Structure 1
Amino acid sequence: MAQIDTGTWVLVADSEKALFLENVADAENPHLVVTREEHQDNPSDREQSANRPGRMQDTGVGQRSALDDTDWHELAKERFASQLADILYKKAHRGEFEKIVIAASPQVLGALRDELHQEVTKRIVGEVDKTLTNHPLDKIEKIVKEDLEAA
């Protein structure tokens, strides 16, 4: 059973917002405070992409095929996970935290796992696969504590 000990960090993230939190109380009654916030402006794919998909010449005479447009919105989400992983690596390397819990949507959690450096992964004491970025801090404390106790 994982706990949020004093000094444990909690990263709460979705594809556009991340909260870096620290428990300043004990594991029994965690009290999380925001130490850093990251935001990404990520408009919908329709707002970021070209007017129509490109075309390419096919093998037959006069045949052309449509090409899928790049999903810029999805690409930005993946880049945001990479940026978060980079921030965590730098902070872990400087010894700013010893333990961390990552609370993120399943998609972001998966993207983060792919990007996290070993220096960070060895400090992970728990994961919560839920989107909590728009919850108040007291709800985040309760949900993370309950999920870690249930694991």
Structure 2
Amino acid sequence: MSRTWVLISDAARARLFEVAEHDGMTEIACYSNPSRRSMTHNKADHSPSRTHDSHGPGRHIIEVHTSSREKSERQFASSIVEALEHGIAQHQCGRLILVAPPHFLGVLHAKLTPSLEKVMVGEIHNDLVSCSTQELADRLHEAFPRECHQQLRRAAL
């Protein structure tokens, strides 16, 4: 199959592009995580709490539970992976490239299925979700000349 899907994402937004042999690079879907966009940074979500021992002066660290921010990121990653999995099952894509900041790329990796891992040809560890389509095409051509060279070159002509 000659189609390559490129997922450009961060924890709040994702854009899915298709790099097809004759059509160049086209945005085919956009996803957003509204709960992540509205969250404010809460230090209490990231630092362990301390408590006093009920019998004596000892103090213990209480394990921090998964923060609402982390839960939101994981749910968003799951919904993206589900959409990608559907596309693979429908034979709409033969190759997959992931582009995301390192932390969110790790969240995505934790959710990837074996069928998605099988078609993955690479990844870029950068936050490029706000870039223009042309800038994305340039970055992809630079990082993956074999996978995107012919398709993106034809699109530029």
The offset of 1:8, in angstroms, is 1.0
Q: Cα deviations across residues 16-75 of structure 1 (Å, max 9, x unaligned)?
A: 11111011346xxx83111111000111243xx7xxx98867342587868547521222
Gap runs ≥5 in structure 2: 147-157
Percentage of identical aligned residues: 21
User: After the TM superposition, which parts of structure 1 deviate over 4 Å for at least 4 consecutive aligned residues?
Assistant: 53-57, 61-70
Contact in 2 for aligned 1:9/1:22 (Cα 8 Å): yes
SS at match of 1:122: helix
Contact in 1 for aligned 2:2/2:94 (Cα 8 Å): no
Q: Does 1:58 align with 2:45?
A: no
User: Equivalent residue for 1:34?
Assistant: 27
User: Which whole-Å CA distance do the structure 2 matches of 1:72 and 1:119 have between them?
Assistant: 29
User: Which whole-Å CA distance do the structure 1 matches of 2:144 and 2:132 have between them?
Assistant: 18
- Structure with the higher fraction of residues in helix conformation: 2
The offset of 1:138, in angstroms, is 0.3
User: Equivalent residue for 1:95?
Assistant: 91
Count of equivalent residues: 140
User: Which whole-Å CA distance do the structure 2 matches of 1:13 and 1:113 have between them?
Assistant: 13
SS at match of 1:145: helix
Contact in 2 for aligned 1:128/1:148 (Cα 8 Å): no
**What is the TM-score of this pair, normalised by structure 1?**
0.76
User: Equivalent residue for 1:8?
Assistant: 4
Gap runs ≥5 in structure 1: none
